[in-house]
Amino acid sequence: MPRVEIRFHGRGGQGAVTAAEVLAAAAISEGKYAMAFPEYGAERRGAPVLAFTRIDDKAILEREPILEPDIVVVLDSSLDPSIYMKGLRRDGLLVVNTKKKPEEVAELLRGRGLEPPRCIAVVDATGIALKHLGAPIVNTSMLGSLVRASKVVELDSLERSIEERFSERPRIAEANLRAVEEAYSSTEVVCL
């Protein structure tokens, strides 16, 4: 597998950093090399947050932010597209938490003068998180969508990583697993 670089865009409290870490752990469990790290601005709930995951078959030495990601995951669709689209490869994948269809996201981007990537995946991660977790913590829902759209790791590996992450809180683990499964099955992907 060639290197895959993923950039998560969210707001404080949505779990972007945890998502990056859980994804890296899932990749490592498959025998891949992976690294996850955050980039914080003003550290407060609701403030924009960036997190990054690199996955490769070879050791990863770079530790700098990912400027030209293969995949961008947007946990909050109210974020500015000119920021989250910056550097996304034209042949890349955009995964968005939204009730919109992929074609509508593409049109929104074009309306802002931005070229959509080759593939767009959408999921109502907020609705799924509220249903299963009772809070708009969308990170695991977005991971389910990401795995469905990209196959960057296997769904089973992601689920095991979530179980391990929340091993001391089995009810929370189970709720997150339900969110992952619903997001995985309800993600809509369109490649333009």
Report whether pLDDT(192) > 90. no
Q: Tell me the average pLDDT across 71-82.
A: 97
Domain membership of residue 180 as a residue range: 4-191
Which residue has 């995949």 as its token pair?
71
CATH number of the domain that 51 lies in? 3.40.920.10
Number of compact structural domains in the chain: 1
Helices 170-186 and 125-133: crossing angle in degrees, nearest 10, is: 150
Report whether pLDDT(183) > 90. yes
- Residue 148 is predicted with a pLDDT of 99
Supply the mean pLDDT for the chain.
96
Burial class of 142 by CB neighbour count within 10 A (0 to 12, 13 to 18, 19+): buried
Residue of 192, 65, 190, 177 lying closest to 128 (CA atoms):
177
Alpha-helix residue ranges (DSSP H) falling in 38-99: 81-84
- Spell out the residues 6+ positions from residue 156 whose beta carbon is closer than 8 angstroms to its own: none
Tell me: the pLDDT tens digits for 170-179?
999 999 999 9
This prediction's pTM: 0.96
Report whether pLDDT(149) > 90. yes
- Residue 13 is predicted with a pLDDT of 87
Q: Tell me the average pLDDT across 102-118.
A: 98
115: DSSP letter? P
Report whether pLDDT(101) > 70. yes
Report the C-alpha gap between 106 and 64 in whole angstroms: 29
Quick check: helix, strand or coil at residue 158?
helix
